[in-house]
Chain A
Amino acid sequence: MVFYEKKIIMNKAEIDRTIKRMAYEIVEKNYGVDGLVIIGIQNRGVPLANRIVSKIKEMESVDVPVGILDITLYRDDLNSAVDQPIVRETKIPFNIDQKKIVLVDDVLFTGRTIRAALDELIDFGRPKLIRLAVLIDRGNREFPIQPDFVGKVFPASSKELVCVELKEVDKNERVVLKEIKETGE
């Protein structure tokens, strides 16, 4: 499948401002940083989680614990995935019992990733609550899952692809809308 770039949804400065605003909202809704932990979902939820943590540090001067979650082994499509996903690192170096977790991912789409993430987190312990922060909500949910903190709502069609590119993993720093190229064959 070939994709062409249709539109830039967010640029570098917008991403930075959005993450900052989300960090404020997280602290506000949590009434401070007590019991707060941030967990990023592999792959691009991890740098986003780190950025939220450093924004919180700037405003509250506190290091909020940060973890990494890889949901590959909790996916529901091992039989059908065209290309088998690579298993990446999971690292939660703290006890999550009674913690208030903010789960971070780049794009919220069907909700299946979040379903897997919730199942996996429950195997680590019994958090007090789990909230969800995503940079982009592109709609088309297949599960009853809604985010608590949203960078931007951007409804996209099933032919379109919303790609978050972050400098920690990609060349660029932007959110871009792509569409499948009809080759006419």
Chain B
Amino acid sequence: MAKRLASWDSIIILLTLAVLVIASLAVDNFGTSRNFTFMVLDLLPIILVALPMTFIIVTGEIDLSVASTLGLTSSLMGWFWNQGLSIETIIPLCVLIGAIAGVLNGFLITGLGLPSLAVTIGTLALYRGLALVVLGDGAVADFPFSYTGWVTGTIADGAVPNVLILIVVLALIFGVLLHATPIGRSLYAIGANAQAAHFAGIRVARTKFWLYVVSGAVAGLVGVLWTLRYSSARADNGAGLELAVVAAVLLGGVSIFGGKGSLPGVLAGVVLLTALQNALRLEDVSGQALNIVTGALLVLSVLLPNVISSIRGNWQRRKLRQSAA
């Protein structure tokens, strides 16, 4: 139990709860249902993209192209709409295109064996460039209200946003996959020691390939949701989102070297980041200061787990030495 309490994901979960409680007491309007809806809408893209990103980082890889995939599907959505396609066709098409963007990443990384950091920095530029080719610096805004209204609306016009259902369902699916299925077990094994995983019959390359496909598909879906939320398809939608996502995943206790981390931790990391930003914005803190807070949190999230584990390591060594003596 002591071990459980000292682990980074439980620390971050407790910290998040503390921030939520303090903010609702100390910050005017933080606890209102209106603000809650806004916060959930702000959370939406980060949390959804963070789900497959967690899987990818657990296997020791990374996908930095997600925000550009989002931008690409957003512009394509606008372009398709202008071509007169129905929204019911456009949405699955955009998810499929996101998945295809993921296929390219996955092929370059697992088929050709290129480093994921380099590949996805490349496709980050590539997909954003394609988005600009498709839509230029224009915007498409006349999406049907039945869809845009659903994304920003709440259940029975109450306090619970419609998209929260989507978040909960997807988080549950990814959480169960990661923590209670053979696939989840193999992801940790791959991240901790790919060679030993290979010797245990795990198909390392194939698994990683599909993670990139899923990551692309989710980014495509988020591109659709983003476009509907702001009623605006633009090539620069979601620019820079990949950094917020990676920050949240690392803050949630996933090791950038792979093999460690949990989904509850990541969810707490996303909520912590968004809640802090939301509270500070309500207090009229400037955008620059917000960036400083985000950056500092990220550095801390990488630093603290190391400090904690070295303290714990010392403690265990001392215990071992005592029991040996």
Query: Does B associate with A?
Result: no
